[in-house]
Amino acid sequence: MSIQLGKLCSRIIEQHFGEVVRTVVDDLFASIAKPLSQIIRSTGLTKSEVCKSLAILIKFNMVGFSLNKARTGYEYRLHYDRIVMVLRYPRYVHLIQTKFGHESAVLMEELLRSGTQCASYIIVKSMSNVDGKDNNTLALLRDKFADLAQENYITRAPEPKPSDGGADLMELCHDIPNPFLMPELDLRVLKELHEGKPAKVPDEDVHWVVNVEQFHIDFRNTIMVTAIERLIDSNAGECMKYLLQLMRERTNPWEAVSNPIALVDLRQRCERKSQNVEMLRYLDQYISVMESNDYLSKFDTKGGGQFTVNVKRIFEQLTWACIENIIVEKYGSKAARIFRVVRMKKYVEQEDIQKEAMVPAKDAKLLTYKLLEENFLQIQTFRKPGGGNSGAPKSFFLFYVNQPQIVSMLLELSYKALYNSITRLTHDKTVNKRLIEKSQRLESIVETMKERGESEAYINEILETLTPPEQEILAKVKLRVKSLYSAEIGIDETIFMLKLYQEYQK
């Protein structure tokens, strides 16, 4: 945990849940685990405020609780990674929209907004955001919800059960036999709930949460397929997609190296699911090229050859590429060349750097020490002991690269950039709040007038109530907001890749 991550979590929570919840999060971030009494004492809030804040955070899985060692009370822990994932919610919804359609995206958005909720409530609540509103729509939403559960994008929430320590204390049971089993939902009951009639919810004890792990598996696979497409071509990317499908069937999805996959099985999968003749014709060559780039490793020669997908090695390479791109953007191509030389040589002296990188001595020294100052390079000192009266011992200074340390530093910078982006976005919206609200009201009025069939002249007259200076300011604000949103998405993608690298290094 770091200061920048703490500031980012604090900003996200304040933006979505308010000042009181942010105070509780700040207090939990500063400790590993805390009981309720200590949280109340250190925050200065009332017991009611702290309990409500913790209830909200637990509902959204941002705080976890467990029994203390004496099993006489609860201790609360902050899941700071889940707080940062709030920025990833639009990507989750977009993925569902792409794979399953609008209705599934509406259900996912409602579940993300609710945190933890039963299926009946989510389906009925989603009715207001879909086009049709009849019994067929309810049936469609129910089927779409079942599809999301079947594809593991949503899962049952842990169920509370009495603890062994005492009847008054509860603990969560995470061991659910079938966490993706959909309960039976009667359409008549759903219709009554939608119409506001009193009805017993059949699944009120079965709550659902978003299974972020499945989304992250999809994001990880997309990164690898895109990397192969850029390195080779789209046919190789399609080949990697089918390799990852076979990997998912035979291996734990988060293993660093997959179980062996026979070339025969891959060919059969491609022939069955793909119409790409060119990929099938040159499948052996694509596998050889991926093997030469360390994306695949040959395991055995039987069955036409067996290969393993080296996910850990892939993300090491992608992380190196990310680091080099950052160096190019900040310090130029010469600095990237110096960094690459040090990385390849592992340990290298200053004089050798300028020779190998083919950079003038003055520039080489300036850029090397600039990279050292910014922690992209490290220095190791070796002393050669002197003999007798031969003078002071001689020292050798060797430069080297510490990839895990660079990744940690880049994560800190990314958290700081995200915090600054969100802060600037909030500032722009606050300063121009009146103008933005006026523009939204005008857009709403114009839409209503167009539906009524008003004349263009009258509509233009209404639009002219927004003066040219106001229009200019509004255009600048919208452009800046759009740029900041794009920056947030890009930074979050970088954070996701760097965190994956750290996970695979454990």
- 150 in the same domain as 98: yes
- 3-state DSSP assignment of residue 165: coil
pLDDT tier, 86 (very low <50, low <70, confident <90, very high otherwise): very high
Query: Model confidence over 330-386: pLDDT tens digits?
Result: 988 889 999 999 898 888 888 888 888 888 888 888 888 899 999 899 888 877 665
Residue 437 is predicted with a pLDDT of 82
- 272 in the same domain as 165: no
Q: What does pLDDT average to over the chain?
A: 86
The contacts of residue 423 (CB under 8 Å, 6+ apart) are 11
- 318 in the same domain as 305: no
Please give the average per-residue pLDDT across 313-320, as a whole number.
92
Query: Model confidence over 164-207: pLDDT tens digits?
Result: 755 577 778 777 888 888 888 877 888 878 777 777 787 778 88
Question: Would you say residue 409 has pLDDT above 90?
Answer: yes
- 460 in the same domain as 444: yes
Give, for 209, the enclosing helix (H) or strand (E): strand 207-210
Query: Model confidence over 437-470: pLDDT tens digits?
Result: 888 888 788 788 777 777 777 777 777 777 788 8
* Residue 61 lies inside a defined structural domain of this protein: yes
- Looking at the DSSP bridge assignments, the partners of residue 70 are none
- Span of 106-120, 182-196, 381-395 with lowest mean pLDDT: 381-395
- Span of 60-69, 124-133, 265-274, 292-301 with lowest mean pLDDT: 124-133
Question: Would you say residue 98 has pLDDT above 70?
Answer: yes
- 99 in the same domain as 62: no
- 496 in the same domain as 412: yes
How far, in Å, are 8, 12, 18 from residue 87 at the CA level? Answer: 11, 8, 16
- 341 in the same domain as 271: no
Which structural domain, as residue segments, surrounds residue 285? 216-309
Residue 169 is predicted with a pLDDT of 79
- 465 in the same domain as 351: no
Q: Tell the residue number behind the tokens 């490290």, with chain if given.
A: 378
Q: CB of 162 within 8 A of CB of 170?
A: yes
Burial class (CB in 10 A: 0-12, 13-18, 19+), 196: exposed
| pTM of the predicted model as reported, rounded to 2 decimal places | 0.87
Distance CA 432, CA 276 (A): 52
Number of domains in the chain: 5
Largest CA distance in the chain: 102
- 65 in the same domain as 119: no
- 45 in the same domain as 113: no
How close are the terminal C-alpha atoms of the chain, in Å? 17
Q: CB of 208 within 8 A of CB of 111?
A: yes
Please give the average per-residue pLDDT across 131-148, as a whole number.
82
DSSP per-residue letters across 85-130? GGGGHHHHHHHHHHHH-HHHHHHHHHHHHHSSEEHHHHHHHHGGGS
Provide the CATH number for the domain around residue 239. 1.10.10.10
Q: CB of 58 within 8 A of CB of 157?
A: no
- 189 in the same domain as 142: yes
Rg (CA), the chain: 28
